[in-house]
Amino acid sequence: MFSIFKSNPLKKLNKRYEAKLEEAMHLQRKGDIKGYSMVTAEAEKIAVEIKALESATKS
């Protein structure tokens, strides 16, 4: 009955992923390539979590 109030972890991960990509883009534009690569690596870890959660949901 109260399932509409439950948070969706997939939605949260997608927001975090998009935020990391945007942060990486800004770092790249500033010329901070090391920071860009570190934030991009964090975004890729989040992408792996998203794929794992999606596959668990489909099963």
Structure tokens, 37: 């690569």
pLDDT at 1: 53
Distance between CA atoms of residues 58 and 42, nearest Å:
25
What is the value of pTM for the model shown? 0.84
Instruction: Give residues with Cβ within 8 angstroms of 32, minimum separation 6.
Output: none
Per-residue confidence at 27, pLDDT binned at 50, 70, 90?
very high
pLDDT at 58: 82
Mean per-residue pLDDT over the chain, rounded: 92
Distance between CA atoms of residues 11 and 52, nearest Å:
14
Give the percent of the chain with pLDDT over 90.
78
